[in-house]
Amino acid sequence: MPKGILQHINDPKDIRALEIVDLIQLAQELREFIIDIVATKEGHLGASLGVVELTIALHYVFNTPKDKLIWDVGHQAYGHKILTRRREIFNTNRQLGGISGFPKRSESLYDDFGTGHSSTSISAILGMALASQIKGTKNMQHIAVIGDASIASGMAFEGLNHAGDTNANILIVLNDNAIGIDPSVGALKKYLTNVKKGTAKDENIFECLNFNYSGPMDGHDLAALINELKRLKDIEGPKLLHIITTKGKGLKKAEENQVVYHAPGKFNKETGDLWPKTSEKQPPKYQDVFGYTIVELAKNNENIVGITPAMPTGSSLKYMMEQLPERAFDVGIAEQHAVTMAGGMAAEGLVPFCNIYSTFLQRAYDQIIHDVALQNLPVIFCLDRAGLVGQDGATHHGIYDMAYLRCIPNLIIFAPLNEIELRDIMFTAQLGLGQPIAIRYPRGRGVTLDWKQKFNKIPIGISQELKKGTKIAVLSIGHIGNMVSDLLKSMNEKGQIGHYNMRFVKPLDTAMLKKIFSTYESVITIEDGCKMGGFGNAILEYANEIHSFVPIKIFGIEDVFIEQGTVEELHKIAKIDISTLKNYINNLLNTD
């Protein structure tokens, strides 16, 4: 780090000792520091660059960590982390054993609440403020920073609605940049745009909710921000400060292409240019297989519609939004609404593909049960990012879906081995199943170069025998089965090991299981999900039901939260990697 101010900032107290002119220089250095690290280590870039001045102003005006500060989602908290005693270790951000890419209570006393999913900050800060009142704690401020995309979520509205009916001493900073990961959508976005233009209707929505509203103001004017925060500090009750910022501020490429530079990967820190990807032909990403396939199917089936809660680029529903815009819907950060809207469409005879990241479907659990499965509506859930997702860490791993969905009546659960199976199950589902289905697939690339093949219908509840054996049967679910196939090809196991691509977590292929239990001496199950209640448990339950005494070893993720790291590193930690499986199989084979 070049000589300057940032290298001397070890704590927010150091910021409060500076003059305004020094704070402006600090903002420049902080931006350069974030760009320098993220250019090589990767991570979320644009959001943190957009709130540099706000971050400095908040820590300058408020007495953190005594005053409570929550960053909604946490994409924008890099500057906060750097200024709160983590500058020296910020190069470990999102790395195995390093600091988290999101605020995390166990990491720092300055991280007042863990925020990896959006729209939780208002509820959390209100809870803290009310707790302070109950405990009789005085002279404490409570601040939440939330974006315009996140504040449109139902949970944020619930928090606003309650907060406005209290005298809690809270400040909501609305960071309005008209973009979340993709551009913000919805009527509230249009309202905020009108507020910025000065063309909004007379009544202010936040004032109507009993908030003391101020703004909109330039979120990059550090001196003005500090003055306004100082003024608001002395006003009691619920307050909302509306600031306008530019996502990616300070890096021209990031300002010009805010979607790409939300999390751009590695780039040239001087120019902002992304480093070129490999020119070698690779299998496609599962998300793109979904995106291209739904368009292909929808062109032949006019009843197909696509729904995503604020993830059109990440899920690749953007392809359908471009080609069939009247039948593809980005509903904003609103997973509950997405699921129930899909149920409504299914009730009217449409074929809704509801594409939600596995970790975010957790936010709509009641809707899956009450609004879809209970009514046996044929919604097709496509669960992207299933399994361990890597450096986003514990808040984003999609490892609970098989367990939390398996107990729901009427719901089919399928995990494709490869891209062809993903296409085929999508094809099968849109033909009409008469009940809902969840299709789970991982982040990243598949295994098949020639993936765009003729569609074939998949019979429900039927597995595949990939390799016949005599002694040990390995039962895999989903993409991780490719690792098993690679392992068996490399082993000199003399035909003793069988491999079964089970495909369906529910319904299980009980006919195949009976055959396996009567043929093999030992059974292994492997999944990239939690062991408790997951795929392996389903196999174990069925074995018990038919009084099978064949020993079953379950490879899955133990009852712990897995932190950040590369997918390969995390598979090793979770003991679902190729070397762990190989050692276990070799030990079984060598017991004779």
Q: State the DSSP code for 285.
A: B
Please tell me which residue, 436 or 75, carries the higher pLDDT value: 436
Does residue 217 register a pLDDT over 90? yes
Please give the Cα distance from 573 to 15 (Å, whole number): 39
Does residue 139 register a pLDDT over 90? no
Given this model, what pLDDT does residue 201 score? 75
Q: State the DSSP code for 445.
A: B
Given this model, what pLDDT does residue 210 score? 95
Please give the Cα distance from 528 to 477 (Å, whole number): 8
Does residue 254 register a pLDDT over 60? yes
Does residue 245 register a pLDDT over 80? yes
Does residue 183 register a pLDDT over 90? no
Given this model, what pLDDT does residue 2 score? 46
Q: Which helix (H) or strand (E) holds 313?
A: helix 312-315
Q: State the DSSP code for 183.
A: B
> CB of 296 within 8 A of CB of 304?
no
Q: What is the mean predicted confidence (pLDDT) over 301-328? A: 97
Please give the Cα distance from 259 to 377 (Å, whole number): 34
Given this model, what pLDDT does residue 138 score? 84
Q: What is the mean predicted confidence (pLDDT) over 503-512? A: 98
pLDDT, tens only, 335-385: 999 999 999 999 999 999 999 999 999 999 999 999 999 999 999 999 999
Given this model, what pLDDT does residue 83 score? 97
Given this model, what pLDDT does residue 389 score? 96
Nearest Cα residue to 480 out of 362, 363, 592, 386? 386
pLDDT, tens only, 146-175: 999 999 999 999 999 999 999 999 999 999
Residues annotated as part of the active site? 247, 335, 363
Nearest Cα residue to 173 out of 213, 201, 120? 213
Q: Which two tokens stand for residue 586?
A: 């070799």
Amino acid making up residue 14:
D
> CB of 534 within 8 A of CB of 402?
yes
pLDDT, tens only, 49-103: 999 999 999 999 999 999 999 999 989 999 999 999 999 999 999 999 999 999 9
Distance of CA 45 to the CA centre of its chain: 16
Q: Quick one: what percent of the chain has pLDDT higher than 70?
A: 99
pLDDT, tens only, 312-324: 999 999 999 999 9
Given this model, what pLDDT does residue 99 score? 95
pTM score, two decimals? 0.94
Please give the Cα distance from 404 to 534 (Å, whole number): 8
DSSP string, 216-253: EEETT-HHHHHHHHHHHHT--S-EEEEEE--TTTT-HH
Please give the Cα distance from 174 to 138 (Å, whole number): 25
Does residue 1 register a pLDDT over 60? no
Q: Which two tokens stand for residue 91?
A: 């190069």
381 φ, ψ (degrees, to nearest 5): -85, 125
> CB of 209 within 8 A of CB of 161?
yes
Given this model, what pLDDT does residue 592 score? 55
CA distances 22 to 19, 231, 426, 457, Å, are 5, 21, 57, 66
Which strand ranges, in their side-by-side order, compose the sheet holding 472-476? 464-467, 497-501, 472-476, 522-530, 552-557
